[in-house]
Amino acid sequence: KDEIDTKFKSNKERLLDGLLVSGFDKASCISRSQSHFYHKPSPHKPSPYLISKLRKYEEIHRKCGPNTRAYKKDMEIIANSKDNNGSSCALTTCKYIIWVPANGLGNQIISMASSFLYALLTNRVMLVKFEQDKEGLFCEPFLNSTWLLSKNSPFWNAENVESYQRFIDMELSNTLNEDLPLAMHVDLRYSPSNDERFFHCDHSQFLLTKIPLLFLEAGQYFVPSFFMTPVFQKELNQMFPEITSIFHHLVRYLFQPSNKAWKLITSFYQQHLAKANQIIGLQIRVLNTESTPHELFMDRILNCTLQNKLLPKLLDNTKNTSLSSNGRNPIIKAILVASLYPQYSESLNEMYMNKSTVTGEVIEVHQPSSEEEQIFDDYKHNLKAWVDMYLLSLSDELVTTYQSTFGYVAKGLGNSKPWILYNPANSNEVCEREFTLEPCYHYPPLRYCDSEDVIEDVSSTFPNIRHCKDYTFGLKLV
């Protein structure tokens, strides 16, 4: 019986309390069967309703995903419908989203997670348009199917797709007629003009139900906007009785490192981190090295980590007798630095190397990569970013940088409530402990659905939404 119990427990942990499904070919995605050895078990359990939604989704994906008869037929209908407006969604067997990337990898991961939840809420099949830069970063998430849009698809280079905004404008001006296209491009990217898209409104969602294929181009975590959409409320409440772990579940469900990424993650971990008693992850994202010189940011990092006792102070030079040298095994703290720049780990290394600390702890500093600059659409660069995000998620304590989606992914994967470093250029506050696992939606809806009025006091209208502290314009779920 004990043996059965142990096996049951380890299966449960491996499958993240039912979030993941068994049946995948082990060798094709080793991280699926090993990641639970690296992450601590999560106290946040997926609800039975979420689990049943995921299993149903996987079934729909198998039935309507690429390489199925339904998919081929539907895509043909949609592709041939360009001059044939007025046909209706009823012509296709299934409905689809093609996710189109925007911004860096952290932005892309949080927006894919949001798009997937949108697919769950609207019974659509989600495909992703991955160029070479993302091929082979993640395992396939859906059993016996693929989520990759094929380069041979007529929608790989979809041009002249009708814009959602045009139809919303027509609807607002009462000029919308019944001639709706079968494909629409929904652009949820930040734009400086920041038009209201009304995507959070029932009337938009009603319009979109009539369109079989949506191109969703986004770089944000737009899940908070679903909590503004009345028609989604019932499903959301059933799926997520605990609102603050939505991203935690979505990101762990969708993103398993590919074998290549997993090899890099586990070999770095074994080589540098496994022997440490505690791992402190430092995610240092400097957007502008002119307004935020490295010395200034380094000061902030030290202030934050020393004051909050994440890292120990050094012993006074005059009494340089290491507590760790008294015969006992020293406690090792590993600092895992993720940054584009090497300067931070160099400074920390210099500070701690061969020095005694007041607690007797020995501090080691490791930085897996230092790319110097952000590169777009580059596979090797993205692989390093993904490895860094994942390694950060294995930390015991985490410090992240304000406004960085890179940090949001790490905390969501790792179930950590990190210390957030604030912007030295405009905040006197050094850092603060985060209170939710949810990412911030940086450019949220601006207006109410039924009037031109700007949403001002957001929490009085939407009780689960607050402004973010690390980016006050943004909104997050609480």
Does position 38 bind ligand GDP by CB under 6 A? no
User: Which CB, 3 or 290, lies closer to ligand GDP?
Assistant: 290
Does position 348 bind ligand GDP by CB under 6 A? no
Quick check: 430 and 421 in contact, CB under 8 A? Answer: yes
Report how far Cα 139 is from the mean position of its chain's Cα atoms.
Answer: 15
User: Which CB, 208 or 264, lies closer to ligand GDP?
Assistant: 264
Q: Hey, how many other C-beta atoms are within 10 angstroms of the C-beta on 208?
A: 20
User: Which CB, 370 or 464, lies closer to ligand GDP?
Assistant: 370
Amino acid at 216: L
Please tell me the number of Cα atoms within 13 Å of 274 on its side-chain side: 9
What is the footprint of ligand GDP within residues 317-346 (CB under 6 A)? 338-340
CA proximity to 357, closest of 335, 338, 372: 335
User: Which CB, 156 or 376, lies closer to ligand GDP?
Assistant: 376
Choose which of 20, 51, 105, 128 interacts with ligand GDP (CB under 6 A).
105
User: Which CB, 229 or 404, lies closer to ligand GDP?
Assistant: 404
Quick check: 97 and 127 in contact, CB under 8 A? Answer: yes
The minimum distance between CB 463 and ligand GDP, in angstroms, equals: 28
Sign of the dihedral through C-alpha 253, 105, 68, 86? positive
CA distances from 42 to 39, 109, 238, 254, 453 (A): 8, 20, 20, 16, 41
The per-residue b/e assignment along 209-236, b for 16 or more CB within 10 angstroms, e otherwise, is ebbbbbbbbbbbbbbbbbbbbeebeebb
Secondary structure (DSSP) of 422-453: P-TTT-S--EEE---SPPPBSS---B-SSSSP
Quick check: 368 and 384 in contact, CB under 8 A? Answer: yes
Choose which of 130, 138, 406, 422 interacts with ligand GDP (CB under 6 A).
406
User: Which CB, 167 or 408, lies closer to ligand GDP?
Assistant: 408
Does position 42 bind ligand GDP by CB under 6 A? no
User: Which CB, 375 or 478, lies closer to ligand GDP?
Assistant: 375
The minimum distance between CB 255 and ligand GDP, in angstroms, equals: 13
Q: Quote the CA–CA distance of 272 and 178 in Å, as a whole number.
A: 62
What is the footprint of ligand GDP within residues 383-402 (CB under 6 A)? 384-385, 388
What is the footprint of ligand GDP within residues 269-308 (CB under 6 A)? 285
User: Which CB, 201 or 475, lies closer to ligand GDP?
Assistant: 475
Quick check: 135 and 106 in contact, CB under 8 A? Answer: no
CA distances from 344 to 40, 80, 283, 292 (A): 28, 55, 10, 13
Choose which of 42, 107, 220, 266 interacts with ligand GDP (CB under 6 A).
107
Choose which of 106, 312, 330, 418 interacts with ligand GDP (CB under 6 A).
106
Which residues, including other chains, have CB under 8 Å from residue 274's CB and lie 6 or more apart? none
CA proximity to 442, closest of 172, 114, 98, 99: 114
User: Which CB, 92 or 107, lies closer to ligand GDP?
Assistant: 107
The minimum distance between CB 113 and ligand GDP, in angstroms, equals: 13
How many residues make contact with ligand GDP (CB under 6 A)? 19
Pattern 84-103, ligand GDP, x by CB under 6 A? -------------------x
Candidates 129-137, 140-148, 154-162, 382-390; binding stretch for ligand GDP (CB under 6 A): 382-390
The minimum distance between CB 233 and ligand GDP, in angstroms, equals: 29
User: Which CB, 13 or 371, lies closer to ligand GDP?
Assistant: 371
| Residues near ligand GDP, by CB under 6 A | 103-107, 285, 338-340, 369, 371, 374, 381, 384-385, 388, 404-406
